[in-house]
């Protein structure tokens, strides 16, 4: 019969399972499948300006993380060169892709809007969400208070003079 005594032998086993999970937070992992998310937003910047803002912001992430990570145990856990927001693909001013040990893969796709401004589409893993959202919050996202048009395809609001949806590319009437 299984009694309470078995709990004692289960405990170390349980700890063994939990330890790698806790370590992953320190950046050793990547074994679990990360969730990919994406977000699009429209800014009043021109495409080159928006692109420069992305480069500058991710440079900041790299600098901040470099300081943080030399203090962490990451360098001991990893035998290869750490990927610290390494630029993977740079097609100025349309595409900027980065790789990072902890944040995963990130990409920014920029589309110039004919009527002015730029749409930024960010694709990232769930653990980079706060970085991307903070960045988005700093940008001059166009506020559409009145007289807006709603895209019949994706449902987002935009300026009434837009001929093409800056979010999904649908042609508007
Ligand atoms: Zn749309």
Residue recorded with tokens 């969400």: 129
Which CATH number goes with the domain that contains 115?
A: 3.30.310
Residue 4 lies in a domain: no
Amino acid 70: pLDDT: 72
Greater confidence (126 vs 28) lies with 126
Residue 165 lies in a domain: no
Q: Look at residue 29 and tell me whether its pLDDT is greater than 50.
A: no
Q: Distance, CA 2 to ligand 1 centroid (Å)?
A: 60
Q: Distance, CA 69 to ligand 1 centroid (Å)?
A: 40
Q: Distance, CA 119 to ligand 1 centroid (Å)?
A: 12
% of the chain with per-residue pLDDT over 70: 72
Q: Look at residue 11 and tell me whether its pLDDT is greater than 60.
A: no
CB atoms within 5 A of ion ligand 1 belong to: 151, 153-154, 165, 167-168, 170
Total number of domains constituting the chain = 1
Q: Distance, CA 106 to ligand 1 centroid (Å)?
A: 23
Amino acid 30: pLDDT: 46
Report which secondary-structure segment, H or E, holds 87: strand 86-91
Closest CA to 91 of 51, 124, 125: 51
Residue 106 lies in a domain: yes
Q: Distance, CA 129 to ligand 1 centroid (Å)?
A: 23
Distance (Å, whole) CA 127 – CA 31: 14
Q: What range defines the domain where residue 100 resides?
A: 35-158
Residue 5 lies in a domain: no
Q: Distance, CA 50 to ligand 1 centroid (Å)?
A: 20
- Classify 99 as helix, strand or coil: strand
Greater confidence (95 vs 31) lies with 95
Q: Distance, CA 140 to ligand 1 centroid (Å)?
A: 20
Mean pLDDT for 62-68 is: 87
Amino acid 54: pLDDT: 97
What tokens appear for 164 in the block?
């093409």
Greater confidence (125 vs 31) lies with 125
Band (pLDDT 50/70/90 cuts) for residue 36 is very high
């Amino acid at each position: 019969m299984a009694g309470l005594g078995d709990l004692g032998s289960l405990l170390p086993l349980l700890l063994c399972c939990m330890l790698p999970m806790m370590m992953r937070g320190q950046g050793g992992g990547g074994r679990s499948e990360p969730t990919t998310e994406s977000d699009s937003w429209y800014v009043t910047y021109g495409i080159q300006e928006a692109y420069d803002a992305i480069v500058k912001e991710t440079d900041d992430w790299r600098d901040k993380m470099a300081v943080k990570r030399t203090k962490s145990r990451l360098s001991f856990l990893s035998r290869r060169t750490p990927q610290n927001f390494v630029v993977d693909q740079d097609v100025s001013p349309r595409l900027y892709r980065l790789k990072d040990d902890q944040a995963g893969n990130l990409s920014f796709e920029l589309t110039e809007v004919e009527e002015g401004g730029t749409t930024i589409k960010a694709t990232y893993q769930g653990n980079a969400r706060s970085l991307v959202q903070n960045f988005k919050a700093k940008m001059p996202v166009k506020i559409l208070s009145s007289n807006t048009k709603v895209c019949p395809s994706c449902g987002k609001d935009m300026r009434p003079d837009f001929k093409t949806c800056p979010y999904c590319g649908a042609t508007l009437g």
